[in-house]
Amino acid sequence: MTDKLRLALVQMHINAGDPDDNFARLERLLEDAARAEPKPDVVLVPEMWNTGYALDRIQQLADPAGRRTKAFVSAFCRRHGVNVIAGSIAELQDGGGVTNTVHGFDREGNEIAEYAKIHLFKLMDEHLHLEAGERPGRFALEGVPAGVMICYDIRFPELARRLALDGAKVLFVPAEWPHPRLHHWRTLLQARAIENQMYVVACNRVGVSGETHFFGHSMVVDPWGEIVAEAGEEETILTAEIDLTLTDEVRSRIPVFDDRRPSVYE
């Protein structure tokens, strides 16, 4: 198990309804991230990067079984020897439904994570166009227990706690989180880190889609709730290094998991 991870968060603009453009943009940014010195161990990408929120056409635009995405990201990982948590994509399922799904790959291009968004955001009509996932996003990254949630999921502390109780030391969060809710974004990410005593690594998109403005501010939060790194509102690659031994230290100093009383509140 590794103690330290170098991170690269690809804070990108997404062209709603144009997967070809988005694949080309992401390829360029991934290549930039992989060439950085020091080289990242893991790269994180935003939510729904292949299609954006073109929900009125999502069945036509979604990646069938995620095949295009899996082939593209797996080949990139093998070529550069990095792990990639490939944000989330609109993925067309065999039954005709579409899910908002994360795929993660290791340095050899093997798939290590798959998670479909559990909580659908009704204010953006997700529930009318997408199918909800049913399983928490647990996985291991180079031997490190990890979890993944998507955007709106961070408003549900019980899901993050479930992942933490299962041992997650780091939580990855791809998102498309818009103005004017920057304060919510920062506060919720810090809260999930503090209450679960784990790193939270969150990658948000930038740019404008229709009348919605996305503010970026991708960030890395440590288990004390301190912001280790935070981007601005432009397309960029945010980098940081995290020391996972801090998770164990914080959990030993304030043993909240040991002091839980689930029989009272569950």
Active site residues: 47, 117, 151
Alpha-carbon distance 232 to 58, whole Å? 29
Alpha-carbon distance 17 to 94, whole Å? 21
Structure-token match 């290549």, residue found = 31
Alpha-carbon distance 124 to 145, whole Å? 32
Alpha-carbon distance 49 to 247, whole Å? 30
Phi/psi of residue 122, each to 5°? -65, -25
Q: How many CB atoms lie within 10 A of CB 179?
A: 12
Residue 7 tokens read as 């991170």
Which helix (H) or strand (E) covers residue 6, if one does? strand 4-11
CA torsion angle 7 239 177 47 (round to 10): -40
